[in-house]
Amino acid sequence: MGLLVRVAQSSRHLTFSSVRLISSFKAEELQVRLTSTPAAKPDNDKLTFGHHFTDHMLEIDWSEKHGWAPPVIKPVTTLNLHPAAKVFHYACELFEGMKAYRCVDGKIRLFRPMENMSRMAVTGARTSLPSFDTAELLKCLKKLVSVDQEWVPYSEKCSLYIRPTFIGIEPTLGITYPNEAKIFIILGPVGPYFPTGMKPISLLADPQYVRAWPGGCGNFKMGSNYAPTVSIQAAAAKLGCQQVLWLYGDDHEMTEVGTMNLFVYWINEQGEEELITPPLESGLILPGITRKSLLELAREWSEFKVTEQKLTMSRFVKAIREGRVKEVFGAGTACIVCPVDKILYQGEELVISTMNDPEHLTQRFYKEINDIHYYRKAHPWMETIEEDTDDVLRTFGAQ
Amino acid sequence: MGLLVRVAQSSRHLTFSSVRLISSFKAEELQVRLTSTPAAKPDNDKLTFGHHFTDHMLEIDWSEKHGWAPPVIKPVTTLNLHPAAKVFHYACELFEGMKAYRCVDGKIRLFRPMENMSRMAVTGARTSLPSFDTAELLKCLKKLVSVDQEWVPYSEKCSLYIRPTFIGIEPTLGITYPNEAKIFIILGPVGPYFPTGMKPISLLADPQYVRAWPGGCGNFKMGSNYAPTVSIQAAAAKLGCQQVLWLYGDDHEMTEVGTMNLFVYWINEQGEEELITPPLESGLILPGITRKSLLELAREWSEFKVTEQKLTMSRFVKAIREGRVKEVFGAGTACIVCPVDKILYQGEELVISTMNDPEHLTQRFYKEINDIHYYRKAHPWMETIEEDTDDVLRTFGAQ
């Protein structure tokens, strides 16, 4: 018990693409303790992202000495940690973001949840946190959503945001892997990203600000990727831009948009209609699940070329000048897709006609993914959650 | 109240070199609550870094709504934070490391403490945490050390490690600056870095691992710089190396050693005796206080050339081949200086004669700084702490 492989290693290279599992917690050992004071649910039209939480959370503790403890569903309470806990000092932390939807057939479903679980395990290895069985975590997560099922908004515009988090809590100073860690999941209802219809955003593209770099960890969902971006976002806002277009390198490679993956839909230099997104191989790009899904959809449609390819600002500016850029958008869990209409670059405002065509691709993706989320279009990407509270409580012996 | 400037900005560039202060807590408002159950102090010869803590901590809370609350010295207790607190998700955190010494004249002193306070404020701006008056924080810190003065080891080999920490604790998801934050300081006795005399270490220099990059935040003491290094350190250990020599760029620029600044003492290409350390302007280097002190000492001695200059592996390897490298060492608060005797680079072990000369420079720096720390040599870098507990308690009205 308690043995684990933190990082799969070859003789010379650290690889984080797979995590070898030695031990894990088990969903069948899940303990459920329900709140006696459930909170009032906010109105669906008054939801602010990240400000509302459901009644319960999942917590799973690990120590090197004792291995994984049984998972616990319990009322949301504070985490009481020693001030030397490594998470406070060395950013020993990672998270995931996913959603549950109340579908048109009344069932509650998750969107490709094993993708998040797998990414979480891989990020855990990069962060020197212990391995776990991703299928077991998903079972626990589903039970948590089931327990708080009434918090999944009765709305085809809202959803229940799910935040799996993994932190190192060993109460000692010193930059080493933590010998104590904690997984927790909190939930909260969220409203539509575009409450009054899709609105394009403007971006600041300034090469002096760099989000990620080869040999770093921009391709993992570690907490350490985020704190450094907050003051840069403020700098963008000061220049009237809503988000940052992150560039990299002397050739101003376009990498990400705020916390979203970047997509460009254009006529390329060969005159072909093409959807481009930056490739994962560079290590600069977070492997987004929306990104992956849009690529899969577009390849299935087979109506235009779909490539994962490096795109520099000089290629992009040339295409803008020649009228070849049709659409630019970000893609992520929060918005699905977010159209871009302006990029401020080297003192010049590049205007993009993303929204001009009422049948534009950004809108088509948005509708398609939304139809899948709410099961207006049945799709194997969606996983149903058990909704029978009585059954949940019976099975898991709520105290 | 509560107004602050998070980041000093010019029209186009974010600058973090100065922090404009609008409001701060005041040391004169400090509240002291002493423990009724003081802990037993560990033996000086059984100290493990970061594993022992004193009886008391300092805590100062801030909120956008109410500004800074009065500072509080109280028994060390857990931080009880909502699981959505930004520090758990987005690495909204920073720290400092410094030490108090029991000097040969019986007084307790700090080494250049305002340097740490200033760096903390500048890192705070980069991390989008609120500004504060650094002189007020130092006053509070001194009182904390005074309250726990019996924890400062009675030893010229040990010291009291001081860990100022600053975290964002707003309990909402979303990557923004936190509207609630907390400064806390914990203390713990630490033993000598070299218990049985100075021992050289070996380094892995592999360009596939990158610690910091231009446009990032490697020059700030943010928590986000540390988590990504833990698994790389493990990779180095697997290859028999004790630390990582961090390289940057296609020309394999030498930047830092583990969590220390890098120094090379050599005969340069012009035949001059020279002490080199990488320059701060690149944004790749943490502005270490030991680094700064060694540079100032060496410039005062005026016995050899002292430069802050980019140094690449090719220049270094050439110098090794030509027998021009005299010493390589890391510099930091934990060790003062740490000699390097081997660097594993591209499959080859570069051997460095750092320890060969019994009067070597690394040793001289070590002795010089140690003499200053323990006041065997009086120096204005040391700041005395008030040691009269009765007076402290009288002044601060302990409850």
Q: What is the pLDDT of residues B152-199, one digit of tens each?
A: 999 999 999 999 999 999 999 999 999 999 999 999 999 998 888 889
- Phi, psi for B118 (deg, rounded to 5): -65, -45
Report whether B182 contacts B169 (CB < 8 A): yes
User: Given this model, what pLDDT does residue A314 score?
Assistant: 98
Band (pLDDT 50/70/90 cuts) for residue B389 is low
**Pairing state of beta strands B31-32 and B8-9?**
unpaired
Report chain B residues whose CB lies below 8 A from the CB of A250: none
Q: Tens digit of pLDDT for each residue in B114-150?
A: 999 999 999 999 999 999 999 999 999 999 999 999 9
Q: Which helix (H) or strand (E) holds B169?
A: none
What number is the average pLDDT over the span B287-304?
Answer: 98
Q: Please say if the pLDDT value at position B13 is more than 80.
A: no
**What is the pTM assigned to this prediction?**
0.94
Question: Rounded CA gap, A102 and B74, in Å?
Answer: 48
**Cα–Cα distance between B227 and B91 in angstroms, integer?**
10
State the Cα–Cα distance between residues A146 and A30, nearest whole angstrom: 13
Beta bridge partners of A368: none
Chain A and chain B share a number of CB contacts under 8 A equal to: 219
Q: Best interface-test mutation with B: which of A14, A122, A180, A231 has the largest number of B CBs within 10 A?
A: A231
CB atoms within 10 A of CB B367: 14
Helix (H, G, I), strand (E, B) or coil at B149: helix
Tell me the C-alpha to C-alpha distance, in Å, between residue B334 and each of B84, B193, B259.
33, 7, 10
pLDDT digits over B351-380, tens only? 998 888 778 999 999 999 999 999 999 999
| B196–chain A nearest CA distance, Å | 21
Beta strands in A172-324 (DSSP E): 180-190, 201-205, 243-248, 253-257, 260-267, 273-277, 305-308
Burial (CB count <10 Å: 0-12, 13-18, 19+), residue B76: buried
- Confirm if A363 and A198 have CB atoms less than 8 A apart: yes
Write down how long chain B is: 399
What token pair was written down for B106?
A: 């019986």
The residue type of A299 is R
Task: State the average pLDDT over residues B78-103.
Answer: 98
Nearest-CA distance from B220 to chain A in Å? 10
pLDDT of residue A19: 60
Give the whole-angstrom CA distance, residue B38 versus residue B387.
Answer: 18
Phi, psi of A361 (to 5 degrees): -60, -40
Cβ-contact B265, B256 below 8 angstroms: no
The residue of B224, B260, B281, B345 whose CB has the most chain A CBs within 10 angstroms, and thus the best one to mutate to test that interface, is B224
CA of B241 vs chain A CAs: smallest distance (Å)? 13
**Pairing of the two strands A201-205 and A243-248:** parallel
Low-confidence ranges of chain A (pLDDT < 50): 1-13, 392, 394-399
In chain B, the percentage of residues whose pLDDT exceeds 90 is 87
Residue B172 touches partner A, C-beta closer than 8 Å: yes
Query: CB burial class (10 A; 0-12, 13-18, 19+) of residue B347?
Result: exposed
Distances (CA, A) of A351 to A247, A339, B28, B255: 18, 12, 55, 40
Spatial CB neighbours of B185, under 8 Å, sequence gap ≥ 6: B57, B58, B140, B141, B144, B162, B163, B164, B165
| Four-point Cα dihedral A205, B86, A279, B207, nearest 10 | 90
Chain centre to alpha carbon of residue B45: 23
Q: Decide if A91 and B186 are in contact by the 8 Å CB cutoff.
A: no
**Buried-exposed string A363-388: b where 16+ CB fall within 10 A, e elsewhere:** bebbebbbebbbbeeebebbeebbee
Amino acid making up residue A210: V
Q: Which of B87, B89, B216 sits opposite A88 (nearest CB)?
A: B87
Chain B residues whose beta carbon lies within 8 Å of the beta carbon of residue A125: 231
pLDDT at B387: 64
User: Any residues with CB less than 8 A from the CB of A111 and at least 6 apart, and which?
Assistant: A98, A99, A101, A289, A372, A373, A381, A382
Q: Is the pLDDT of residue B4 over 70?
A: no
Q: B34: which DSSP letter?
A: -
Contacts of A223 in chain B (CB under 8 A): 88-91, 224, 227
Residue B17 is predicted with a pLDDT of 52
Which is it for strands B348-351 and B336-345: parallel, antiparallel or unpaired? antiparallel
- Minimum Cα–Cα distance from A249: chain B residue: B214
The phi, psi pair for A137, rounded to 5°, reads -65, -40
d(CA B249, CA B314): 12
Inter-chain contact A89–B226, Cβ cutoff 8 Å?
yes
Quote the DSSP letter at residue A222: B
CA quadruple B59, B78, B115, B93: dihedral sign: negative
CB B49 within 8 A of CB B161: yes
Give chain A's end-to-end CA distance (angstroms, integer).
27
The verdict on a CB contact (< 8 Å) between A230 and B78 is no
Kindly determine whether residue B14 and residue A231, on different chains, have CB atoms separated by under 8 Å. Answer: yes
Give the residue from chain A lying closest to B238, CA to CA.
Answer: A11
What band does B206 get if pLDDT is binned at 50, 70 and 90?
Answer: very high
Point out which residues pair with A342 in neighbouring strands: A202, A351
Instruction: For residue range B30-57, list pLDDT tens digits in order.
Output: 999 999 999 999 999 999 999 999 999 9
Q: Is A4 helix (H, G, I), strand (E, B) or coil?
A: coil
Q: How far is B305 from chain A (nearest CA, A)?
A: 33
The ipTM assigned to this model is 0.94
Q: Which residues between 267 and 296 in chain B have a beta carbon less than 8 angstroms from any beta carbon of chain A?
A: none
Looking at the complex, does the CB of residue A33 fall below 8 Å from at least one CB of chain B?
no
H/E stretch holding A1 = none
> Which of A80, A186, A168, A169 minimizes the C-alpha distance to B80?
A80
Cα–Cα distance, B122 to B167 (Å, whole number): 14
pLDDT recorded at residue A16: 57
Say what the alpha-carbon torsion angle A168, A174, A179, A183 is, to the nearest 10 degrees: 0
pLDDT the model gives residue A194: 85
Nearest to A258 by CA among A358, A313, A331: A331
DSSP A315: H
Chain A closest CA to B99's CA: distance in Å? 14
The whole-number pLDDT of residue A387 equals 64
Cβ distance A50 to B174 less than 8 Å, yes or no, reads yes
Picking from B282, B286, B165, the residue whose alpha carbon sits closest to that of residue B220 is B286
Query: Helices A134-147 & A389-396, crossing angle to 10 degrees?
Result: 130
Domains of chain A with CATH codes: 2-195+379-395 (3.30.470.10), 201-351 (3.20.10.10)
Q: Which among A57, A80, A223 has the least Cβ separation from residue B90?
A: A223
DSSP of B75-131: E---EEE-TT-HHHHH--EEE--EEEEE-TTS-EEEESHHHHHHHHHHHHHHTTPPP
- The tally of CA atoms less than 13 A away on the side-chain side of residue A276 is 25
Q: Is the pLDDT of residue B302 over 60?
A: yes
Evaluated on CA atoms A305, A309, A314, A320, the torsion sign reads positive
Query: How high is the mean pLDDT of chain B?
Result: 92
